[in-house]
Structure 1
Amino acid sequence: MEIRKAVPADAQAISRMLGTLVSAGKRTSRADEDFVLATYIENPEGILCVLALDEGGGLLGFQSVVRTSAGNRYGTPEGWGFIGTHVAPEAGRRGVGSRLFEATRAAAEAARLPAIEAFIGATNVEGQAYYEKMGFRTYRIADGAICKCYRLA
């Protein structure tokens, strides 16, 4: 498995993968290329968007962390990181999320973030279990979501 930073040319593959998650009922947010570029790859608050690729270069998953600003839509404290993790349905349970988080954690530490928040749907049991396994702990509940925090400082 190759782990590398996402570039604009990856937007189409990421968009396709997110579309499969929408079709599988595992995502409700937008999945188009413009959204991918603005939210994950070229976000001015972005710290890192990292991909996991199989031996043939196929996308297994990606993870993004951005620095939060005041008044963000999730209510995450200003200056924290906000993380999103997306793994292709066929790539589950292969260590993709763990490998992605190694790179994300290192980037968050280098950016001197005090903490990272994951905003996980209350019914997303897989997502909650993943973040718990990575060391995130529940610290608040908001708008039908479980908010887990990973403290860096």
Structure 2
Amino acid sequence: MIIRPSLPTDATGISRVLTALTAAGLRVSPSDTDFALNNYIENPNGIECSVATDPEGVILGFQALLMAVEGNQYGVTPGWGIIGTHIHPEAIRQGIGGKLFIVTRRAALKANLKFIDATIQNYNTGGLAYYESVGFRTYETIEEAVRKVYDLS
């Protein structure tokens, strides 16, 4: 497995991961290539977006870290990080998320973040367990989601 920074040319591969998650009932947000490019790879508030690939370059998953700004769509405190982790359903339980988080945590420290928010849908039991396993803790439960925080201070 290779972990590397995402490139604009990765938008199609990221879209494939998102589409597979939607088909598996683990995602409801958009999954198209433009969404992947604009919201993860080239997001103006992006701090880091890394992909995990197999030796042939097929994207198995990715993790994006954004800076929360005033009025962000997630309602996260400005100045916090916002993380999203997306692993292809056929690649789960291979340690991909943990390897991606090593890179993301390093980027968060470099950006002087104190906290990272992960908002996970209640039905995503794998996502909830993953974030707990890397040190996130629940700080709020909202309608259909659990909000977890990672403390970098």
TM-score bracket, normalised by the shorter chain, equals over 0.9
SS in 1 for 2:99: helix
- Runs (4+) off by over 6 Å: none
Matched, 1:83 2:110: no
Q: Tell me, which stretches of 5 or more residues in structure 2 are unaligned?
A: none
RMSD: 0.8
The AA in structure 1 aligned to 2:9 is A
Q: Distance between the aligned counterparts of 2:132 and 2:38, measured in 1?
A: 28
Tell me if 1:61 matches 2:61: yes
Alignment map for 1:89-128 (pairs within 5 Å)? 89-128=89-128
Report % sequence identity: 50
Which residue identity is paired with 1:55? P
Q: Does 1:150 align with 2:153?
A: no
| Amino acid in structure 2 at the alignment position of 1:27 | R
In 2, the alpha carbon distance for the partners of 1:151 and 1:145 equals: 20
Structure 1 segments unaligned to the other structure (5+ residues): none
Shift of residue 143, structure 1, vs aligned partner: 2.7
Q: Distance in 1 between matches of 2:105 and 2:143?
A: 26
Letter in 1 for 2:36: V
Q: TM-score, normalised by structure 1?
A: 0.97
Tell me the alpha carbon deviations over residues 48-75 of structure 1, each in whole angstroms, 9 at most, x when there is no partner.
Answer: 0000011221111000000001122221
TM-score (norm 2): 0.97
Q: Which amino acid in the other structure matches residue 96 of structure 2?
A: V
Aligned AA (1:67): M
Partner Cα separation in structure 2 for residue 89 and residue 123 of structure 1: 15
Aligned pair in 2 of structure 1 residues 70, 143: CA closer, same or farther (>3 Å)? farther
Count residues with an aligned counterpart: 153
Counterparts of 1:13 and 1:92, CA distance in 2: 16
